[in-house]
Every structure is written in C-alpha cells, then in structure tokens.
Chain A
Amino acid sequence: MALAIARPLGRLLASPGQAALAGVIALFLLLFLVVPVTTVIYVAFTEKGTGVFTLINFVDFFRTDLFVNAFWNSIYVSTATVLVASIFALPLAYITTRFSFRGAVLIQTLGFLPLIMPPFAGAVAMQLLFGRNGSVNLLLDDWFGFKIGLMEGLNGVVFVQAVHYFPFILVNLSAALRNIDRSMEEAAQNLGCSGFRLFRRVVFPLALPGYVAGASLVFVKVFDDLATPLLLNVKDMLAPQAYLRVTSIGIADPMGYVIAVVLIVVSVLAMWASTLTLSSKDYATVQRGGGGLAKRTLRPWESAVAYCVVGLILALVLAPHLGLLLLSFATVWSFSPLPDAYTFAHYARVFGDSSVYIKNTLVYASLAALIDVLIGGAIAYLILRTKLIGRQGLDWAASAALAVPGVVLGIGYLRTFYDVPMPDGRPLATFWMMIVLALAIRRLPYALRACHAALEQISVSLEEAAENLGATKMRTVRRVVVPLMTGGILAGFISSFATAAVELSATLMLVQSNSDAPLAYGLYVLMQSPAGRGPGAALGVIAVILVAICTFLSHVVIERSQRAKGALH
C-alpha cells in the first residue's frame, strides 16, 4: 500500500479492479466481436475444397490486378477525403468554439447532420441534386452548357464521402478546441502571432489529438465504407469488392473474406499509426485554474466573413438533406431541377407505421451508444492510465470493429447465437438485444476515439490531486475524470447514437420481425419500389429530425458544462 502511494499514478501496473475491468471488456469483445467474425472469415485462410490452412488466397489477392487497383484506389479516396473533410470541418470547429458567435450550438448541430444520412433515400436525394442529371447539372447545362462530374468516379466518391463524414472531424476537433486553455492562445498573441498563423502554429497543434481522432475515423470509415462507392457505381475499391463477393450467392469464394481481412488489418494499422503520431508528445493542456476558456469577440467585418464561410460550408454539406426534404414532399421528381408538384401524402402514409420504428430506433441506438461510451471510456482509461499488459489489444480489437463489414458481423451473429436457445425456446439471435449489441460493436470505435482524445488532454496531476485528498481510484474516476471528460464522452455518445440510428447492414441480417425493426429497416423496405420513394424519403426526414433533436440537446448540455467550467476562473 505504502509503495503504491509513493509511486505516481501513471506508473502503476494495474489494480485488481482495473484488471477485472479489462477482463470483462475482453470477454465482451471476444463474445460479440472476435468469435462471430472468426466464424465467418476463417474461410480466407483455408484451401479450396480441402479446408486446410493456407495463405495462398492472400497471394491471389496481390496477384489480381483488380484487387491491387482497388487497394490503391481505396487508399487514395480515404486520404483525399480526409483532406477535403478537414477543409469543411476546420473553419466550423474553430469559429464556433473559440469565438463568441451567435448560433454556435445550432451550427454545431447542423454540422453534425450530414453524418445522419438515411440509407437509400439519402442516396437518391443526392443523385437528384448532384448527379449527372441532378438539379445542379441540369441548371448548369441549361445556363452555361456544361456539367460537373460531382458524383463521377473516384473524385465523386471523395466529394460525397467528405460531405458525409466530415462531422467526425468537426465533433472531435471541437471537443479538443474547447479544452485549450486561453493563456495558450494569449501567450502567442502577446508574442506577435495572430489570425491564421495563430491557428496553425498554436491552436491546431494543441487540438491535434482531437483532430487525429476525427481524421483517423474518417480515413478508416471511408476505407471500409461500401455504400457510397456502390451508390456512385464505383466498384474498383476494396470495401465494395468485399461486399459484392460476400453477398453473391452460389459462389464459395474465399476472396470476399480475404478482402475483409485486408480491410481489418489496414484499419487497425491506420488506428495504430494515428496513436503513434501523438504518443511522443504531451497534449495535456487542461490546466484548470489557468485562464480557462474565454471566447474572443470578432470585429464586425471578421464576423461577416465568418458567417459567409460558415454559411457556404453548411449550404454545401446540408444540400443532401434539403434534397431529401424536397423528395419527401415531391409527387414526381424526374429529370428536372425541382419536383413537378408537392404533397403531404407520403408523410400520411408512413405516419401510422413509423411509430414502432421510431421507438425501436431510439431504444436500440441509445442503448448501443450507452454501451459504447461505457466500454470506450473504460478502454481509453486502461490504455492511458494503466500499464496493464495487453491493454493495446483491447484498443485494436475495438478499432477493428470499424473494418468488419456489417454483413459479416450479421452472419457471424446468426452462426454464433442462432443455436443458443433463450428460456422460451426461441433462438438467442432473434432477441432484439442482439441488434443492440451488433450496433454497439459497430459503433464502439467512434466512442472509443472520442473518449481517448478527451482523456489524453487531461493532466494526470488532476487525478493525483484527488487521490492525494483521499479519493479511491473509483471515486477519482467518478468525481474528477468523468466530469472533465464530459465533452468527449458526449461527443462519443452522439457519434455512436446518430450513426447507429441509421445503420442498416448489420441490422438487416438480424431483424426478425416488423415489431423489432428499426427505422433504417423500414426505410429499406420502402425504397425497393417506385411508389415507396416518397414515403421512404419522408421516413428518412423523420429519422434525421429525430436524431438532430437528440444531437442538439447534447450540444446544449456540452455548452452548459463548458460555461460552468469557464465560470471557475
């Protein structure tokens, strides 16, 4: 005991409690991620026919031009998307967190919306606006006689992905920016630094943990995303290749699973590289009792410029949602800049059906997000605050979840849990909680990244102070660490919640009855016929509004807690 007290907090191997926590998390990941996925992808390592272990399939992978091409295309698209997404996210995050700016909360909420793009309906709306014969191009062609390939080829994928995923950077970067002590900026101003240089040299580097957390998420997510490339009919990328192969029946082909393994490996490597870039530096900038956060005021012309920039970015990234809204009111919208006529009929049609979907979605997504912040926060704590052997393994396993195609996870759950009966005799896989767990596993990396970044910015001395004053580790976490991490935890919760609310691929495999189905499933069912297009869009709008309200409330909570902290000074 005496020895333990004498040592600094960070040097401890781990207390029995921490080890037990690690054990529980490891078991959870093993049961609901590793085992189900392994039951599916082991095929990648077996020889055709005999089932003997082999690596020949991986040799085939690198011998096939299509796959090698797809690999580099995926790398290119992911990297370019991170760059473009940063251009969207940086001004929004900086302006809304470091300046007193009217409507900051609203902007943060709106800036988050693109992440909540309902499947199928969103894609149709996007095509109608930006597609080859979308509103933009029809008007351009009419007025100037040319078209822009906004949704063509790899660069089209980059554009759509950047619009879709930039909120990851926005959310994480904003949380990090809020944690930067005012005196850090003032010291630089005092030495003659201002404007963009101030941002580039001091503010941005200090917010780097948040930025890297967001950027690595974007990279991995884009690398593993199949919906957008397929929507744009780009097939020479890795994730679509894996999906097309895994879901084509009658083909006992290991290559789909080989690609899944490659996706997982690259994703874990990317996550690992992102932690590596940060590990050599110290980012604990939270020095409460220093300046705290003070928002600067903008001069009139500066604020005019800021509003223009914010307005432009928001208009661009929210255009798909505008399209969705139009679509939900449109009678027929075909080869024209705007719909032919408008109607409320689509809302009337989905109104009756959707209440059960809405309820299920809220329950599933919030439960999944709750599980995510609990486990994500715990893993972040184990990684950053203990020397527990194998703690990085938890991180990698959780991050790998990002790369597991939803279909693979869904099939894995069926294989693993369908034979396990519940007390009433029905298979465990049909229990709705399985959908929650699948969603939680799929969204865990989001919460983990956010919690990791938040904890990284908190100085260990704050915890040492609490322990010194007689708080146990547990109470220190509860009374000091968690309150200081609130912003990061909420950011993680929102990311997990909002994206889980519109997740489809894993749930589609696991939904057993209409009464257990979430919104995304209802949307999928509607979007399979021409008559379902309008109602599908209406349901999509309902989903977006629902998630937006939850997001807005969370932002209000973050702002409040921030104000409370600012008042300390």
Chain B
Amino acid sequence: MKSYSKIAYLAALMCVSLPASEALSQAPTGKVTVVTSFSKDVTDPFKKAFEKAYPGTTLEVQNRNTNAGVKFVEETKSNNQVDLFWASAPDAFEVLKGKGLLQKITITATGIPEKVGSFPINDPQGFYYGFAASGYGIMWNDRYVKANKLPEPKEWSDLAKAPYFDHVSISAPSRSGTTHLTIETILQGEGWDKGWRTVKELGGNFRTVTDRSFGVPEAVNSGQVGYGIVIDFFAFSGQASGFPVKFVYPTVTTLVPANVAVITNAPNKTAAAAFVNYLLSPAGQEVLLEPGISRLPVNPAVYAKAPPSLPNPFTDKSLGAQVKFDVNISEKRTNPVDTLFDQLITFQLDGLKAATKAVHDAEAALAKKDNAQARGLIKEARDLIAAMPITAAEAESPEITGAFTGAKEKGARQAELEQKWAAFAKERYAQAKTKAEEALKLAR
C-alpha cells in the first residue's frame, strides 16, 4: 500500500519530533490491538493522541470488562491476536502474569516514582506498568442527600451509622478488583477481626451490592442510591458530566495504579511497546487530565497542568499513606476474602440488614432511656454480626485457598465451604436480630 520512502520519511519525522524516543531500529506502524475495560471516554482521547504521535499506527480497541478480557486472552492464547491489556485492577494483571500471558518490555519514560501512596506503581518483576493512580472513596448524590436530610460522610465508619441505613451501595469485591483492594485495605489497616467488623457494619447499611463496578456510580448519578463506595475517577467524571455528585477520600484509603501490559506473543510488539511508553510519557500523562477521564497521573510533574480540584497524591501525604499495604497477603487470600464477602454480606444482605436495623432501633431507644441489660444485649448482637467463620491464618492456609484454585490435593470443595459459611452467618444474623429486639423491649 505504502511506498518504502514514505515509511522512511515518517520514521525520520518521528526521530525528530519525539523528545524521548528510543533508538528506532523499527518504527512502530500498523494495527495495535488492545483489550481494555476502559470506557470510550477514556480510550478515544488516547487513541487520537497516540495515532497522532505515531502516524501509521492504528489503535484497535476491544472493549471488554476486566474479567471477560482476562478470559478472552486466556482462551485465545494458542493463536494470540492481542497486543495489549489495559485495565484498572492490578489483580487481573497478576492472574495474567501467573499464567505467563504477559511479557516485559523496555521502559524509556522517566520521572515516575516507585510508589504512589503506599502502593508500588509498577509490577516489581516488570510485567505490567502503572500509568495512573486512583483512590477509593465515598461518592454521594447531593440532591438525594438534601431531599432525605442526610449528613455528608467523611470516614468509612460514618457510613456504618444509623442514618445511612439502606442508602449505601458498593460493588462486590468478587466482581470488581478495585473494591477488593478497598476491602483488603480495611482488613490490613484494622486487622482481620476488627476489619471485618467494620465491613459488616457498613454492609448492614447497604442498599445494593452490584455486580459491575460502574453499577455503583450509575446508581448514585441517577439518584437511585444516596452513597456509593467508588473509585475516585467515577466521581470526577460524573462531576465533569454535570451530575450533582460529591466525593471524599476517607483517611484510611489506598491509592492503586491502573495498569497496562504487553501480551505474550503480541503480533505487533514494537507498536505495543510504543503505546506503553507513550502512556507513561508526559504527553500521554497529560491526556489523563481531560475532564471525561479525570485520573491521577503517576508522573508528579504533570500535576502542574492539572485543575486545582484534582488532588495530588505526591504532595498531599494524607492520601493513602496511612496504610501499609502488603501485596503478598492480599494475593494469597484473594479468593477466601471475596467469597466471605459474598457469602456473609452479598447473599445474606436481607438477614444482615434486618439484624442491623434492629440494632439501630434498639440503640436509638437506649439513647433516650438507658438500660444496662439492654446495652449488654446490643453488644452481644453486634458481636454475633461481626463473628467470622474462619481466622486470618485459616484464610491463608492451603486447606482453604486450595478449595478455590482447583488444587490437585484433595480437600474441601468450594461449594462445601460456601454452604458452611453462609449457614454460619445466617444463623448468627437471626440470633443478633432476636437479641437486639429484646434490647429494644427492655429500653422502652
């Protein structure tokens, strides 16, 4: 199609025009196929900018949710047609890395620090690279909150309070890698038992547990739910689109990078590497500042051009710095934690909410007229709600984790564990409800 001279001309042009260009033994051209979970609002500006920076390339975007994307890459590895994987959740990249589906490339971009908050930006082994940071927080619909005369939250624990009952939404950690990180952050920050107590106290106020990450901001944007536990850019881009939503980072939060990686046997490795380096270059980092994207760049220098509303995690040390996040622990117990959340909260939401409501009611009554015996009962009820079927050590043990990975050794099957845990929670929530109701009677 194209004459050689034209390509040579373009290559020469790029050598001149790209400040941090690598030694261009091969100029990147042709189609780069990227599987991504990012919406069109994110991918379109990058596609435009990248194709402009590297004429002759086309970025072919295949939009799939993270899980489907991982499955797709896995299923098609024998005849791979995909160059890049581009998504938020670091654990998806861990899965791909674990299956040998990622390859290393040479990174030429400079000026990117090692960590954002307490989370390492890049994979220590160099298989995937963080290009933007995001933190979890609380997003709420201002109209909803005003209409229902509700307070504005600051910390996670605020959401566990009585006024928030039935107004909070979250996506299931088993469905959203970023929610998983949030839950894991709380568990690591507060310890296993205390952490789960917090999570379940939050859970008692949940309106819904959605199966898509975007389900939460969608519900908050349209006012179906008051508060959502979401990743920051959902709130920022909602604000950018004019929705009456607000957002706050609680003090216990972690900033997690969004990543990009090159797939093993990528058909167009040269151009794939060029794209990764473009993302990490100042030009690519600046694209993140577009209102429809609103993600935190990982290059601190780029914040000079950011709008004042965008927080800077490299200067604002309160952001995500309080938690020391241990990636190893997180990775080991990913499946048990997700499954516990589903079996104790997602699928037992009715029971959990009924118990929580009873506790709220009893406490409200106690505030008017104190009663020591009732106080005792409420404490028992709260302990019953918080009780966990397994300990932190058990959650990391091979007996438990093996049930989820299809490990070769004989052991408990996942379905058996699930039934056991669900029955455990169901029974205790029912007991807690009875105790709280007794307390209410005493307090009256």
Contact = CB atoms under 8 A, between A and B. Distances in A.
Interface string B225-263: 000000000100110111111000000000000000000
A335 B143 contact: yes
Interface string A239-271: 010001001111111010000000000000000
Interface string A467-508: 000000000000000000000000000000000000000001
B222 A128 contact: yes
A351 to B, nearest CB: 15
Interface string B113-126: 00000000000000
B419 A65 contact: yes
Interface residues of B, number: 81
Contact of B238 (A61, A128, A430, A530): A530
B287 interface: no
B377 to A, nearest CB: 27
B14 interface: no
A463 B365 CA distance: 80
B154 interface: no
Nearest to A341: B242
A147 interface: no
A512 B219 contact: no
User: Which of the listed residues B33, B175, B223, B339 has the most CB atoms from chain A within 10 Å of its own CB?
Assistant: B223
Interface in A512-526: 512-514, 521, 524-526
Contacts of B68: 247, 407, 508-509
6 contacts: A56-B413, A253-B415, A419-B78, A512-B81, A513-B33, A529-B41
A430 B244 CA distance: 42
Interface stretch (A130-138, A202-210, A362-370): A130-138
Given A131-B222, A134-B224, A530-B234, 14 more contacts: A60-B419, A65-B423, A124-B222, A128-B222, A235-B211, A249-B95, A251-B414, A418-B79, A528-B63, A529-B40, A529-B41, A530-B217, A530-B241, A533-B218
Contacts of A527: 214
A247 B75 contact: no
Nearest to B210: A233
A131 B72 contact: no
B404 A251 contact: yes
A531 interface: yes
B356 interface: no
Contact of A334 (B78, B222, B406): B222
B292 interface: yes
Contacts of A513: 33, 60, 62
B244 to A, nearest CB: 6
A47 to B, nearest CB: 9
Contacts of A249: 66-67, 70-71, 92, 95
Given A60-B413, A64-B415, A335-B143, A530 B221 contact: yes
A131 B224 contact: yes
Nearest to A56: B413
B40 A528 contact: yes
Interface in B408-436: 408-411, 413-416, 418-419, 422-423, 426
B17 interface: no
User: Which of the listed residues A63, A244, A255, A525 has the most CB atoms from chain B within 10 Å of its own CB?
Assistant: A525
A57 B418 CA distance: 13
Contact of B62 (A132, A235, A426, A512): A512
B39 interface: yes
Nearest to B78: A419
B287 to A, nearest CB: 15
Contacts of B403: 48
A107 B183 CA distance: 51
- 9 cross-chain pairs, A with B, having the tightest CB-CB distances, nearest first: A335-B223, A252-B406, A528-B39, A529-B39, A60-B415, A335-B143, A233-B208, A529-B41, A414-B75
Contacts of B79: 418-419, 421, 427
A521 B223 CA distance: 26
B222 A49 contact: no
Contacts of A521: 63
Contacts of A335: 141, 143-144, 147, 222-223, 244
User: Which of the listed residues B92, B219, B234, B245 has the most CB atoms from chain A within 10 Å of its own CB?
Assistant: B219
Contacts of B410: 48-49
User: Which of the listed residues B40, B67, B174, B411 has the most CB atoms from chain A within 10 Å of its own CB?
Assistant: B40
Nearest to B343: A66
A131 B223 CA distance: 10
B407 interface: yes
Contact of A514 (B42, B61, B218, B414): B61
Interface in A28-58: 48-50, 56-57
A251 B66 CA distance: 14
A334 B221 contact: yes
Given A132-B224, A333-B222, A525-B63, A230 B211 contact: yes
A334 B81 contact: no
User: Which of the listed residues A63, A128, A233 has the most CB atoms from chain B within 10 Å of its own CB?
Assistant: A233
A133 B144 contact: yes
Interface string B45-63: 0000000000000001111
Contact of B224 (A133, A235, A252, A528): A133
B381 interface: no
